[in-house]
Each structure stands twice: as C-alpha cells, then as structure tokens.
Amino acid sequence: MPITLKSNRAFVAFSGGGAKGLIHVGALRALEDRNVVFQGIAGTSAGAIVAALRAAGFSSRELLDPDSDTSIIGQLHAIDPRINRVTDIFGRTGWARLRLFRWGSRHASLLKTIAIGIGIAEFVGLLCVGESRSWWMVCGALLISALLLWTARQSALVLIGGLADIRDFRDALATLLQHRMFPGTPGRVVTMGDFGRDGRPTLKIVSANLSECKLHLFSPERTPDVAVADAVAASICLPVIFQPWAIDQTIFVDGGIVSNLPAWPFDEERELDPEALTIAIAIADPTHTPVIGRFNWLPAAIRTALFGSGELNLRASGQSEQLELESRLELLDFDMTLDDARQEVRDGEAAAGVRLDKWLFRRPDLYRTLCKETRSLADEILTEALNNTAGRIRVAIALPDRDYHHSLRLEFSVGYEMDPDEGMLLPIEGSVIGAAWAKNESRFEVAPLPSNLDLPGDANRLRRKKVWPGLAWQLCIPISAQGSGSHLVVRIDGDAVFPTNGLVSEALEMLEKSVKELFDAVISELS
C-alpha cells in the first residue's frame, strides 16, 4: 500500500532512453498514487514525451494502463489512422531501417568478419584480373568495386541523415495536446508559454542545438512561442536513429547528448520553494559492452549519449532523490509486445514505489520523529540535572548533500521553525558539527565558541549572520553505520547557561549515550 500524504510538491525530471523510456510511465503512476503535486516537469528525449503529456494533463493510466487496453496509441490512432502501434510513428521504411540497424548493432563482430572477407575477396579478384588480362573480368571487378563504394556511400548518407523521420509523430502529438488542453479551439497550437499558468505545471525540455553548438532549453520563459510538439521533436532526434529537427532554420538533435537527466532547469524554482521535493527519474544502462574497437563504437556512443550524462544533472538542495530504474527492454525495442509493455510499466511502478516510500517519505518522517524524541530526551535529562528548566532546545540532523564532500546540511530539524539557520549548509572545516564529523567523536561547546570553530573567514560571513543569537551551547553527536565512519551528525543546542559542575557533565554523557542508543536502533532504516 503506497504512502499517501495530503500534498507533496515536486519538481520531476524524466531522462531519455529510447524504448526504455516506457518505464517512466510506471514511475509516473507511482508518483500519482502518492499524491505528488507536479510543480514543474522536465524531460529529455523519451522523457520529454512523458513530461509533455503529463504537463498537459494526461495521467499514467491514459498513457498505458497495465490493467486494461487503454494506451496513448489509441488516441494517436484516432488522430492519424496510420498509427496502430508504436513502430508506426517511424513510418514503414523508417522502421525497416531501424530494425536493420538494430540487427547490425547486435551482430557487429559478424559484420566485421563479412567486411574483411569481402575485402580479401576483392583484393584477390583484382590480382586474378591482372594476371588474366581479360576485358570481361576487368569490367566485372570494376563494377563490383563501384557497387561496393556506392553501397558504402549510401549507407553513410542514410546514417548521417537519420534512419527515420518523425514528422508524422510530431503532427499527431501537436493535435493530441490541442485536443486535451484546448478542445474548444480547433487548430490552436500548444506552446511552451501555455505551461506554468492556469494551474498547469511548468514544462521544460532539453535539446542539443547543432547550429550554435550548445545546449538548448525550451521553457515558458525562454521560448514561450515555440510549439511543444516541436520542442519534443527536437529533443528526441537521436543522431543516426532520427533525422535532425529544424525550428526556424536552427537544427536540433537529441537532448541526451548534452543533458540526459535535467533536474537543473528548476534551480531557481527550487530556491524559491526549498521544501518542495526534487525527483529525477533515470534509466540504468546495464549493458556490458565488449572492448570498444573501430567496428562497435557506434552503438556504444549512442548509449553513452543517452545514459552517460546523468552525473552532472542533479544538484538539488533540500529533499531530492534520483530514482535509477532498470528496464528489460533494449534501446530500439519499439516492437515490444503489449504484454511486455504492460510488465515494463508494472516493474517501473514497483521499483519507483519502493524507492519513493523509503527515501522521500518514510526516511524523512523517521528523521523528524527522531528529532522530536531527541529533544524530549534532552529536555528531560537536562531539566533534571539543572533542577530547573532547560530553556529552549533545538535538534537537527546534519547530512552531506549529494556529491558534497566539504559541508553538512541541517536537513531535518525540530525547534528551528522561527530561526534563519534552519536548513543551513555548514562547512566541515570551521564548525563544531564539522569537527564532530571529521573525528567521528562527540563535541560539546559553549558560547563563545573557539575562534577556529566559530565559522571563521570571509567565506562564512553570510553564515555568521544566520547563527541563532540565543545560542549558548551545542552538543554534536556523530552516528556511524557499522563502524564505517560518520553517517550523520545529531546537533542539539539551546539557550540555557549551564553551570560548571559534575551534574551537567554526567547529564551530557547520559544524553549522548541515550541519543546513540536511539539512533543505533534504527540505523539500518537510515542507510
């Protein structure tokens, strides 16, 4: 049973992946079942299709319902009767070329052997022609050579120009969006500027601009007048597979080349709404390619374009998670059976649901509960030791942000609601909490703090302004997972002035022990 909350605002990014992108429908279903409110949706390549359709109001069950015959193909067929299955969007000739390319990519070593054999046969034939001096043999050898050169040239031109054309799909998508968003206005072009308003989430789509050799972001702010169908077409044109797409004489190809998992377009929105979730849905590429050589580099290059640029795309503060889903499909398996497609959606929903429940719902709830229980412990133990009120007590759990190595963020807390240091990013060098993390030992300090732990230097000038003015003491307790070094740091602080006596020292030791026991009991849930 999925965990459902009243409202979970989220910015969601869908990666590219060719036919593997079907798994996004399952992830989308998991998000919908958890009442995620889409503030913004971004996508690249296959992810751009899902992003555009969801932003327009299509639910995952309308895209493909694994429990019925409902799918988006049925709606596309109503618009263009030639579209009866996914492969029809490429055209008959285009799909035949894609199938041939797929076969060739799977049998690269065989093709290499055949090419070498033809080359040897041609060389031997020319030697025989030279010995025989037969006019017919000379003409035959020249004709075969010319035919081979022509075939190689035509194959190269087809590969450079793209194996399939997506114009029919682009037109059908444009009509589909218009029917959903503006059913009473036939011919109305749905543009990027139609999103981020009237209750619709912001839509952002990434493509690669070949004309200017740069990344291109389609968004309501940058390209309000560009048709969404054109933006999607520009994002899905994977080189070799599809013909490049032109918008106003600018040439575009697949956005996965430059940014395959685009969470970064929402940097400003996340700053304005730091409590919103950021969810980036990636597609894993479990393919183990043999040693790359001159004859099998092209399929590897295509996979690299689609799956190799995710490292730089998720830099989100606050609650964020990258869901990496494994697909059983191959990049060009657009001719999958309906049963396989349904199973892919079910698998995506199940995998995404487990990760969402643990990392974005159960885990934060558990952290907040631990903060509350820790504050209750601190209040009880310190009040008894002081024989008086312990004053105001706050508790925070500090963790490193994704791929951050020199700082900790007060990510979960209780008692900080009115203070400017809620969610603060603290340097490991120059802070009490950083000293506890680095040495993996608890640290207790009272105000005024030692100069080397009081956020020294110009780099911390703005942080010093955010320090709680009433801060009189702080206790930082590192929590380790199976003795593998600091996993997180629990920071307890308050405004009471402690007397220097043995009772307070004993109380602090008891508090440290109690907190460690509390966290040790659930550390496996936090790993």
Q: pLDDT tens digit string along 217-231?
A: 999 999 999 999 999
Which residue is associated with the tokens 């907040």? Answer: 368
Instruction: Please state whether beta strands 36-44 and 202-209 pair in parallel, antiparallel, or not at all (unpaired).
Output: parallel
200 with 194: CB under 8 angstroms?
A: yes
State the pLDDT confidence band at 4, using cuts at 50, 70 and 90.
very low
- Look at residue 41 and give its three-state secondary structure: strand
Cα end-to-end span (Å), the chain: 22
CA 243 to chain centre: 26
Instruction: Output the pLDDT for position 401.
Output: 87
Contact 407, 425 (CB under 8 A): yes
* Residue 201 DSSP one-character state: P
Pairing assessment for the beta strands 393-399 and 202-209 based on DSSP bridges: unpaired
Q: Where are the alpha helices (DSSP H) in 402-497?
A: 432-439, 461-466
CA distances (Å), origin 232, targets 75, 208, 439: 18, 12, 50
DSSP assignment letter at 7: -
Q: What is the rounded average pLDDT of the residues 131-152? A: 55
Q: Which residues are catalytic?
A: 45, 254
- C-alpha span between 74 and 92 (Å, rounded): 19
Question: Residue 286 — pLDDT band, cuts 50, 70, 90?
Answer: low
Neighbour-count burial for 403-412, b at 16+ CB within 10 Å, e otherwise: eeeebbbbbb
Q: Could you tell me where the DSSP H helices lie in 390-491?
A: 432-439, 461-466
Band (363; pLDDT cuts 50, 70, 90)? confident
On whether the CB atoms of residues 21 and 54 are closer than 8 A, the answer is no
Which of 5-9, 118-122, 184-188 is predicted with the least confidence, judged by mean pLDDT? Answer: 118-122
Torsion of CA 286, 291, 293, 295, to 10 degrees: -50
Residue 43 has pLDDT above 60, yes or no: yes
Per the DSSP assignment, residues forming a β-bridge with 277 are 10
Contact 347, 29 (CB under 8 A): no
Which DSSP state fits 340? Answer: H
Quick one: which of 173, 171, 125, 175 has its CA closest to 147?
A: 125
Stretch 408-422: mean pLDDT, rounded? 94
Q: Which residues, 6+ apart, have CB-to-CB distance to 504 below 8 Å?
A: 385, 386, 498
Question: Measured between alpha carbons, how far is 527 from 522 in angstroms, rounded to an integer?
Answer: 9
Q: What is the pLDDT of residue 158?
A: 46
Helices 228-236 and 46-55: crossing angle in degrees, nearest 10, is 160
CA–CA distance from 307 to each of 44, 210, 259, 303, 304 (Å)? 11, 20, 9, 6, 5
Q: Mean pLDDT across the stretch 196-225?
A: 96
b/e per residue 307-330 (b: at least 16 CB within 10 A): bebbeebbebbbbbbbbebebebe
- Work out the percent of the chain whose per-residue pLDDT is above 90: 60
The rounded Cα 203 to chain-centroid distance in angstroms is 15
Banded pLDDT at 14 (limits 50, 70, 90): very high
Q: What percent of the chain has pLDDT over 70?
A: 79
Q: What is the pLDDT of residues 143-175, one digit of tens each?
A: 655 555 545 444 444 444 468 888 989 999 999
Spatial separation of the C-alpha atoms in residues 448 and 469, rounded to whole Å: 11
Say how many C-beta atoms besides its own lie within 10 A of residue 269's C-beta: 17
In tens, the pLDDT along 93-109 reads 888 888 887 777 665 55
- Tell me how far the alpha carbon of residue 131 is from its chain's centroid: 64
- Any residues with CB less than 8 A from the CB of 178 and at least 6 apart, and which? 185, 186, 187, 188, 189, 190
Q: How many CB atoms lie within 10 A of CB 84?
A: 12
The rounded distance, in Å, linking the Cα atoms of 11 and 322 is 12
Phi, psi angle pair for 314, to nearest 5°? -115, 100
Q: Which of 66-70, 143-147, 352-356, 471-475 has the lowest mean pLDDT?
A: 143-147
Q: Quick one: pLDDT at residue 101?
A: 76
pLDDT at 265: 93
Alpha helices in 237-337 (DSSP H): 267-272, 297-307
Provide the sign of the torsion angle of the four alpha carbons 126, 129, 131, 133, taken in this order: negative
Among 73-82, 356-365, 450-459, the range with the most confident prediction by mean pLDDT is 450-459
The contacts of residue 40 (CB under 8 Å, 6+ apart) are 11, 12, 196, 201, 202, 203, 204, 265, 266, 269
Whose tokens are 């040495």? That residue is: 439
The answer to whether 409 touches 402, Cβ cutoff 8 Å, is: no
Q: How far apart are CA 410 and CA 419, in angstroms?
A: 12
Q: What does R_g of the chain's alpha carbons equal in angstroms?
A: 30
**How many angstroms separate the Cα of 89 from the Cα of each of 24, 80, 172, 244?**
19, 10, 9, 16
**DSSP 8-state assignment for residue 497:** P
Which residues are 242's β-sheet partners?
164
pLDDT for the residue numbered 274 = 85
d(CA 204, CA 52): 8
Nearest-5° Cα angle at 257, 255 to 258: 75
| Residue of 488, 527, 483, 522 lying closest to 373 (CA atoms) | 522
Beta bridge partners of 234: none
Q: Of the ranges 109-123, 318-332, 475-489, which is most confident?
A: 318-332
pLDDT of 113: 60
